[in-house]
Structure 1
Amino acid sequence: MLLKLTGSSGAGKTTLAFAVTGRLDGAVVHEFDEVGVPDPPIPPHWRNRMTEVWVRRALEYQVRGLDLVLSGNAPLGEILAAPSAPLLNGIAVCLIDVADQDRRDRLAARDGGRWDRAATDAFCGWAAWHRGHARDPRFRPDVVIDGSWPEMAWDRWTTWTADDPRWRTHLIDTSGRPLATSVDQVERWVTEQREAHRSGRLALARGWADETPGPTDHDG
């Protein structure tokens, strides 16, 4: 299955993903940007296409009996719209979030202070959109849909509502918390989602794109 840690820059998702690497049997960890990032302005099709690349990578691991823990910016809606997403045997998404000032402080200390005020404002705005998207599929879908790669199948979820059991993004807020605490939370979330999949309780198990939703205990 694909276990996606999403969110805007500066929340700590990649740090957390790699921190749990040695704790998870039968799982591999990757970072979305490993495939290389084009110079700004980054075309919207790039993230869509690379999301499909990673979904296919997850399918390769799936054949080998391995789960993929992937950190990166792509939110739940983009994962579900990727052309090959319905072939995955399970999907779970966790939003790694942090307070805006913490995000600004982390970005200021990162990469030699390369991010100016406009860039950090944009990251905070992207974080706010992530929060809204995690709560409700009807929150500003245009942000990811407009100008997107034509192969994306947005209609798989654009008629869903916030109470659809398939629309679930778990939240881990790293604001003011020791790294070890957040690492434990990520490990627990991954473990719970894998157990939900094994026991048939995962809402986004294979077939989610074709079935009428019913009651689920998705978040354990």
Structure 2
Amino acid sequence: MLLKLTGSSCSGKTTLAYSVGERLRHVVVHDFDELGVPEGADRRWRNRMTEMWVRRALEYQDRGIDLLLTGQSPLGEVLASPSAPLLNGIAVCLVDVSDEVRCSRLTKRDPGRWDAPAVDAFLDWAAWHRNHAEDPRYRPDVIFDDSWSGMAWYRWAEWTSNDRRWRTHLLDTTDRPVAESVDQVEHWVTEQRDALKSGRLTLSRGWSDETADRAGHGS
């Protein structure tokens, strides 16, 4: 299955993922940008790379291995990727942090690199992630506009926040020790894997079928 840690920059996604990967069997960890980010990378690039990682997850799936992937693609982009319905299961966790902490981390990580408008863009993207996690109808234009033509947005474009398939786990790392956050991510990963095995995972194979029982309300 694909286990995705998403969110804006400097929330701690990569640190948490690699720490968890050392604890669990049959889980491989990758960072979305590990193959490099080209100059002028845009939304279409992120869309195509999301599909590439979904295909990589399918390769691991065939070998009985789950992919824990860090990156900034939100739930909606993962679900719209062409190959997403072929995955046995999908689970997404939004790793978040307060604006104050994010600004501090950006300054420490990349001294002098980001001006005020760039920092505001990171914060706006983080705020959008929070709202998207709660409601698929919150400003879908942010990811729909100028997107790659291969994306299948129609799969969830009519969903509401009550649709049980629309679920992103939220982990706020603000003022939380790293070790505690690692424990939380490990617990989340274990829960999602157990849910898939027991048939309780809402984004298991068949989630994209337009049937009443899959799109019903509830938890």
Q: Under TM normalisation by the shorter chain, which class is it?
A: over 0.9
Q: Does 1:59 align with 2:58?
A: yes
Structure 2, gaps ≥5 residues long: none
Cα deviation code 1:78-134 (max 9, x no counterpart): 000000000000000000000000000000000344222221111000000000000
Q: For residues 44 and 172 of structure 1, what CA distance do their matches in structure 2 show?
A: 25
Counterpart amino acid of 1:96?
Answer: V
Measure the CA separation in 1 of the matches of 2:140 and 2:27. Answer: 31
TM normalised by structure 1 equals: 0.95
Give 1:81's aligned residue.
Answer: 80
Letter in 2 for 1:29: V
Q: Would you say the 8 A contact 1:196–1:202 is kept in 2?
A: yes
SS at match of 2:92: strand
Worse-superposed segment, 205-214 or 57-66: 205-214
Q: Distance in 1 between matches of 2:86 and 2:125?
A: 29
Q: Once structures 1 and 2 are overlaid, which stretch shifts more, 73-82 or 16-25? A: 16-25
Q: How far off is 1:21 after superposition?
A: 1.3
Query: In structure 1, what is the Cα distance between the partners aligned to 2:43 and 2:38?
Result: 11
Per the alignment, residue 147 of structure 1 pairs with 146
State how many pairs are aligned.
216
Name 2:193's counterpart in structure 1. 194
Question: Is residue 203–residue 216 contact of structure 1 (8 Å, CA) maintained in 2?
Answer: no
Using the size of structure 2 for normalisation, the TM-score is: 0.96
**For the residues of structure 2 that align with 1:107 and 1:80, how far apart are their CA atoms?**
29
AA paired with 1:102? V
C-alpha deviation, 1:176, in angstroms? 0.8
2:160 corresponds in structure 1 to 161
On the 8 A contact 2:32/2:53 being kept in 1, the answer is: yes
Contiguous gaps of at least 5 residues in structure 1: none
> Share of identical aligned residues, percent?
67
CA distance in 1, matches of 2:106, 2:87: 34
SS at match of 1:28: strand
Distance in 2 (CA, whole Å) between partners of 1:216 and 1:198 is 20
Native 8 Å contact 2:3 2:69 kept in 1 = yes
Q: Distance in 1 between matches of 2:86 and 2:76?
A: 16
- Equivalent position of 2:38 in the other structure: 38
Quote the offset at 1:35 in angstroms: 2.1
8 Å CA contact 2:163, 2:218 repeated in 1: no
Q: Are 2:132 and 1:133 aligned?
A: yes
Partners of 1:85 and 1:137 in 2: how far apart?
Answer: 17
CA contact under 8 A between 2:75 and 2:133: conserved in structure 1? yes
